[in-house]
Amino acid sequence: MKFNSAKIKNFRNFEDISINLTNKNILFGMNDVGKTNFLYALRFIFDKDIRKQNFNDTDYYKRNVVNPIEIVIAIDISDTENADSQKLRAKLKGSILSEQNIVYIKVKADYNEKEMVGIPVLYWGGDVNELEEMKIHGTFFEIDYIFNVIYIDAYVDLYMLFKKNANTLLVNDKDQDKDVLESIHKTCNELNARISDLSGIKSFEKKIAPEYKKFRHDDISVSVKSEIAIKGLYSNIVPYIKQDGDDSLYPTSGEGRKKLLAYSIFNLLSKEEEETKISIFLIEEPENHLHRSMQIALSHILFLDDKYQYLFMTTHSPYVLTEMDQVNLVRIYNKDKIISKSIPYTIPKEFKTQRKMLNRGLVEAIFADKVLLVEGTSENVLFGKILSEINPFYEADGIYILPVGGFGFRLYYQILNALQINNIIKTDNDLRKINGKEQYSVLGFSRLNSYVGEKILPDTPIRENSVEAKRKLYDDNQKTLDKIRDKYSIYLSRCSLEEDLDEVIHDQMVSYLPNADGNVIGYLQNAKNNHMVELVEKLTAENCKHIYEHYNFACLKKLMQ
């Protein structure tokens, strides 16, 4: 079973939106773009507790109650060997034909002006244009016998969760429980009797009877009895967190620990239903109250544990996504109206062992509005310094610098483009010696041809590998390279970072790097990160402005526009 898509019309801030889905979906975007509302759209289909509350007029897009709310989920059940596909197809029975492999589940709600609510009606079938109305038994639709929705909000209350589900979690079905319950019952009777013997109660009984007889001359007395009963066995129990080796109990040992305990309870609850129902986890901002290390630990569970097979999660944290793989990244954003873009993301096999490093760069970038893709840490250090001088709040304005390191540009810019996140590439004008020949392939040019998807730059090898040869190669093709800058936002260095920087502030670099003995380019290239940090610490605001305005580093001005 595989989630395929969602279509939402006239619901809250969604006028008309379509989102591609898979079984693990990560929703991200700025505040108030509708991430929580999307989860609620799913709940109105799969969660009977939400559905029975009906739709209010505020649930209709801009309170347009003339048009109905429509939410349609498409699920692929073509895998006939899959147990969940079998469960869903068996329940559908005649509502889907044997050759139909997509199940459409729709909730529709026309607004009733008299009742002032929109009553949800469910439909399903294999043809989205000819769906059958779903049978209902009391308040249960047939779908409620198939799916078990586990909604975990950002501020889940551990104690309310535990109290609500105590009877499910704490089942007394052992023979020894009978003796324990009898003992509890006997203790309750004894406790009630002892409470009734308190002097305050006896005094009240003695004084209240004469007062009563003033109204009615009955031969009565008044007794006050305690009624602590076994029926309240779980009414006041609270889960405590106990440190190993410490007998003390800590009922409020931190919101982070309580949240993880709440997740553990949700896991137990899902086990109760897993044999007969399909569990869907809807999780909202799990990072709240969790330290970075706990977020990473939670990421490991969410993306590697089979229990979370069907997952829809909103988040603002890159740490929660550290272990993500085989997920659908869904960006919800607002231009003139709420729209979305999504892309399936699977870690390439060659990067599996570097999953965390790859993901950390990517997930930082997908939370940005503009991303500058650079080759390594030297560019990151230098450009970060320059941008902070131009605009100290550039990161708060949604700008992010992403060093691609050994992962290359392609994986990153393909994902960013698919999510419609503006990105700019800054790469070196590399040459590579051809084996067995005194020639050098124009690797930087070939890289750009690959990125733009056509042979727009010459790829004929050259005979010299020098700064002068690189600059001549660049100058001879500058018109084409400028067009690539304008059209594709790809900026090729005239040579390399260090050589291009030397062209702009050579005298200052010689002054700032005395240990280089005048060979500032070699010095920077010899220990890239450390020596670049040494230089950057000495750059003045004037230096940064000069670099920012220079043709060699026009990518920075483009980024800030």
Domain boundaries, the chain: 2-159+272-331, 171-232, 354-560
Q: Which pLDDT belongs to residue 162?
A: 83
Q: Do 345 and 25 touch, CB atoms closer than 8 A?
A: no
Mean pLDDT of the chain: 91
What pTM, to 2 d.p., does this model score?
0.86
**Looking at domain 2-159+272-331, which CATH architecture does it have?**
3-Layer(aba) Sandwich (3.40)
Percent of the chain residues past pLDDT 70, beyond the cut: 96
What is the distance between the alpha carbons of residues 393 and 399, in angstroms, rounded to a whole number?
Answer: 9
Reported as a single tens digit per residue, the pLDDT across 388-397 is 999 999 999 9
In 335-421, the DSSP E strands lie at 338-345, 370-374, 399-403
| Confidence (pLDDT) at 250 | 57
pLDDT of 263 reads 85
**Distance separating alpha carbons of residues 382 and 361, to the nearest angstrom:** 18
Residue 173 binned pLDDT confidence (cut-offs 50, 70, 90): confident
Residues 336 and 33: beta-carbon distance below 8 Å: no
Residues 35, 67: Cα–Cα separation, whole Å? 22
SS3 content of the chain, % helix, strand, coil (to 5): 45, 20, 35
**Which one is predicted more confidently, 178 or 140?**
140
Q: Can you read off the two tokens belonging to residue 454?
A: 């056509």
Mean pLDDT of 340-346: 96
pLDDT of residue 269: 83
Confidence of residue 230 (pLDDT cuts 50, 70, 90): low
511-515, long-range: CB < 8 A, 24+ apart: 512/538, 512/539
Between β-strands 311-314 and 422-427, what pairing exists: parallel, antiparallel or unpaired? unpaired
Asked if pLDDT for residue 211 goes beyond 90, the answer is no
Query: What is d(CA 100, CA 4) in angstroms, rounded to the nearest whole number?
Result: 14
Q: How confident is the model over 67-81, as pLDDT tens digits? A: 999 999 999 999 999
Would you say residue 253 has pLDDT above 70? no
- Distance, in Å, from the CA atom of 156 to the CA atom of 208, rounded to the nearest integer, reads 47
pLDDT value for 168: 80
Q: To the nearest 10°, the Cα dihedral for 111, 113, 115, 118?
A: 10
Pairing of strands 102-109, 111-112: unpaired
3 state DSSP class of 514 = helix
| pLDDT (mean) for 340-348 | 95
Q: Residue 302 class from Cβ within 10 Å (0-12 exposed, 13-18 middle, 19+ buried)? A: buried
Phi, psi of 140 (to 5 degrees): -100, 125
Express as a percent the part of the chain with pLDDT over 90: 72
Q: Are strands 432-433 and 440-441 parallel, antiparallel or unpaired?
A: antiparallel
Rg of the chain on CA atoms, in Å: 33
Asked if the model's pLDDT at residue 138 lies above 90, the reply is: no
Query: What's residue 434's pLDDT?
Result: 95
Query: In 57-99, at which residue ranges do the beta strands (DSSP E only) sit?
Result: 69-76
Q: What is the largest CA-CA distance in the chain?
A: 124
Average pLDDT (85-102) is 92
| Contact criterion met (CB below 8 Å) for 24 and 328 | yes
pLDDT value at residue 244:
66
Listed residue (110, 150, 128) closest to 18, CA to CA:
128
pLDDT for residue 22 is more than 80: yes
Res 170: pLDDT: 81
* Contact by Cβ (8 Å): 15, 61: yes
Separation CA 498–CA 280 (nearest Å): 52
pLDDT in tens, 462-471: 999 999 999 9
pLDDT in tens, 258-285: 788 888 888 888 887 877 899 999 999 9
pLDDT-derived band at 181 (thresholds 50, 70, 90) equals confident
Q: Checking DSSP bridges between strand 2-11 and strand 14-20, what pairing results, if any?
A: antiparallel
Give the SS3 label for residue 240: coil
Tokens of 179: 């003796």
In angstroms, rounded to a whole number, what is the distance separating the alpha carbons of residues 184 and 256? Answer: 35
